[in-house]
């Protein structure tokens, strides 16, 4: 049984594509376009996702702000989060903010699938 | 003072045989000739009170008086009114009397009233009993040397000043260069970020395609899904192309190679087509776009470039408008076409109103909204190349209003 994941990405192109391909792989995916929407989705979810893929640069609430918000709420603090960004050298910042991993765009499909399999089952 | 005392007072120096042998020429006379014929120094005697007793050729040349005019006059005649006021001549004699010698450089006055810069040495002359019986005064004209010194000093001052100025200019230039390098570095990092973003779906899509071909799953996908994959690739490529075009535009603008291709064009039609083309983006943004425009608005423009300006203003309004209504109006005002785009988004601080049209500037420096920061810069260059203007102001309640005014041109 594959476990659910949350995708937070403002770019509709990337969001749509990731939803498509992760769904094809059999993962239940919830998508949000910014941090605020993600918090709403988390609050509404019957069970917390096994993994959250979070873009850094987003309007309304960016990825780092979202992680900080999650950190402050016991229900969400333990959810493993992965930071996605096209910027270089964010690994340190991501680790400091509590992300389990940093994935630089353009994302590599097999790395992504391996990562998702690790947290949400193969 | 008698000749006898004079002879005693001034040391005669080593005797030289040859002149001594000239018959009829006595030491005293030779000495008088020597002093008398020196041209470069004024050498003369003063009595105990400072009255001129003798005069030589040098003195006449320096000070302009003949011996007949000056012998018997007080040496204070040569001093400036300032020196006279402070009783300086008497001080000089007092010091020479007490210490045997007085030397200074200072201004003296010629017969014709002009000043010269003098080196003055006053030596006290003593009689057999040690009492001061008069003074020998040797004066040199150092005016030229002083002028040369002064010229040199001024030149040095000027040089120092200009070195200071140049240093200041250089450090300002250096500061500007540093700033330019910083802006460029920042731009490169933003450009890299912006180029990588559309690469993400492209790369994923192509890898997915390969993956599905390998697993023989591709042709079991619904046709509509395959079309969507191709569309994703196409849109990503379009985004990349647009970014690259922007970068090229900037490079053209920097090197003055932006060429307009003006022709009769209908701005109202350009605007209508743009709104149609942006249908999807407008829907996604959640903003209602209201357009107020005449059916036609003809003028002479580079239609493609003006469309680029309109596109930029619309896409900014969608990007920064936070889903609020966007009002676009197009109208003829006098001999100009005026386009106004009003959003109800985050707005721009008044202090940043000029800066947003600069290269690489983004309203949202924190970077939660992506973008190269080139759109408004390019837009302004295009508008200005048309002889028009572009500006931004704050909307009455919230958001920004961008206004473009374009001369209708000869084709109006």
What residues 25-54 of chain A have any CB closer than 8 A to a CB of chain B? none
- For residue B304, the tally of other CB atoms under 10 A from its CB is 12
Spatial distance between the Cα atoms of B372 and B364, rounded to a whole number of angstroms? 11
Kindly tell me if the per-residue pLDDT of B1 is higher than 50: no
Nearest chain B Cα distance for residue A46, angstroms: 28
Over residues B118-130, the mean pLDDT reads: 93
What residues 307-366 of chain B have any CB closer than 8 A to a CB of chain A? 322
Spatial distance between the Cα atoms of B35 and B25, rounded to a whole number of angstroms? 15
Nearest chain A Cα distance for residue B365, angstroms: 12
B236 interaction partners in chain A (CB closer than 8 Å)? 13
Within 8 A by CB and 6+ apart from B38, the residues are B56, B57, B58
Whether this prediction's pTM lies above 0.80 is answered by: no
Dihedral through CA B206, CA B212, CA B213, CA B219, nearest 10? -110
Residue carrying structure tokens 């002879």:
B7
Q: pLDDT tens digits, residue range A28-60?
A: 999 999 999 999 999 999 889 999 999 998 878
Spatial distance between the Cα atoms of A106 and B202, rounded to a whole number of angstroms? 8
Distance of CA B213 to the CA centre of its chain: 65
Q: pLDDT tens digits, residue range B53-72?
A: 999 999 999 999 999 999 99
Spatial distance between the Cα atoms of B232 and B245, rounded to a whole number of angstroms? 20
Spatial distance between the Cα atoms of B337 and B157, rounded to a whole number of angstroms? 58
Q: pLDDT tens digits, residue range B161-201?
A: 999 999 999 999 999 999 888 877 877 877 888 888 889 98
What pLDDT is attached to residue B404?
A: 96
Q: Do B368 and A14 touch (CB under 8 A)?
A: no
A58 at B interface, C-beta within 8 A: yes
Q: Do A17 and B202 touch (CB under 8 A)?
A: no
Q: How far is CA B13 from CA B102, B193, B248, in A?
A: 22, 95, 92
Kindly tell me if the per-residue pLDDT of B12 is higher than 80: no
Q: Do B208 and A21 touch (CB under 8 A)?
A: yes
């Amino acid at each position: 049984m594959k476990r659910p994941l949350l995708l937070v990405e403002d770019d509709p192109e990337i969001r749509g594509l990731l939803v498509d391909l992760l769904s094809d792989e059999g993962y239940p995916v919830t998508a949000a376009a910014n941090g605020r929407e993600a918090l709403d989705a988390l609050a509404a979810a019957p069970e917390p996702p096994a993994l959250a893929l979070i873009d850094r640069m987003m309007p309304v609430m960016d990825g780092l702000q979202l992680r900080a918000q999650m950190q402050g709420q016991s229900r969400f603090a333990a959810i493993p989060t992965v930071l996605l960004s096209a910027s270089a050298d964010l690994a340190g910042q991501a680790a400091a903010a509590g992300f389990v991993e940093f994935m630089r765009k353009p994302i590599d499909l097999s790395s992504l699938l391996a990562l998702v399999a690790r947290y949400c089952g193969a | 003072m008698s000749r006898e005392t004079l002879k005693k007072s001034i040391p005669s120096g080593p005797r030289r045989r040859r002149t001594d042998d000239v018959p009829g020429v006595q030491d005293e006379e030779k000495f008088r000739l020597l002093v008398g014929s020196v041209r470069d120094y004024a050498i003369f005697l003063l009595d105990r009170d400072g009255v001129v007793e003798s005069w030589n050729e040098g003195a006449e040349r320096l000070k302009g008086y003949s011996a007949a005019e000056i012998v018997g006059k007080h040496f204070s005649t040569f001093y400036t009114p300032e020196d006279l006021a402070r009783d300086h001549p008497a001080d000089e004699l007092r010091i020479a009397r007490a210490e045997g010698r007085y030397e200074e450089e200072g201004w003296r006055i010629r017969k014709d009233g002009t000043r010269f810069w003098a080196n003055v040495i006053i030596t006290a002359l003593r009689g057999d009993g040690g009492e001061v019986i008069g003074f020998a005064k040797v004066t040199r004209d150092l005016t030229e040397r002083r002028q040369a010194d002064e010229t040199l000093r001024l030149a040095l001052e000027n040089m120092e000043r200009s070195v200071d100025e140049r240093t200041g200019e250089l450090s300002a230039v250096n500061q500007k260069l540093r700033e330019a390098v910083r802006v460029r570095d920042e731009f490169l990092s933003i450009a890299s970020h912006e180029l990588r973003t559309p690469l993400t779906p492209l790369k994923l899509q192509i890898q997915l395609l390969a993956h599905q071909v390998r697993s023989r799953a591709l042709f079991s996908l619904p046709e509509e899904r395959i079309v969507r994959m191709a569309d994703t690739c196409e849109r990503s490529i379009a985004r990349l192309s647009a970014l690259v075009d922007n970068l090229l535009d900037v490079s053209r603008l920097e090197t003055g190679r932006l060429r307009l291709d003006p022709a009769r064009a209908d701005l109202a039609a350009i605007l209508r087509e743009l709104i149609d083309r942006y249908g999807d983006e407008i829907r996604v943004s959640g903003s209602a776009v209201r357009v107020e425009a005449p059916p036609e608005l003809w003028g002479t423009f580079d239609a493609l470039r003006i469309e680029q300006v309109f596109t930029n203003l619309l896409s900014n309004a969608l990007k920064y408008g936070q889903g609020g209504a966007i009002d676009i109006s197009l109208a003829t005002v006098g001999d100009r076409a005026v386009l106004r785009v009003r959003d109800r988004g985050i707005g721009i601080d008044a202090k940043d109103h000029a800066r947003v049209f600069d290269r690489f500037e983004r309203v949202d420096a924190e970077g939660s909204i992506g973008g190269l920061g080139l759109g408004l810069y390019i837009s302004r260059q295009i508008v200005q190349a048309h002889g028009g203007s572009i500006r931004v102001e704050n909307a009455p309640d919230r958001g920004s209003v961008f206004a473009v005014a374009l001369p209708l041109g000869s084709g109006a």
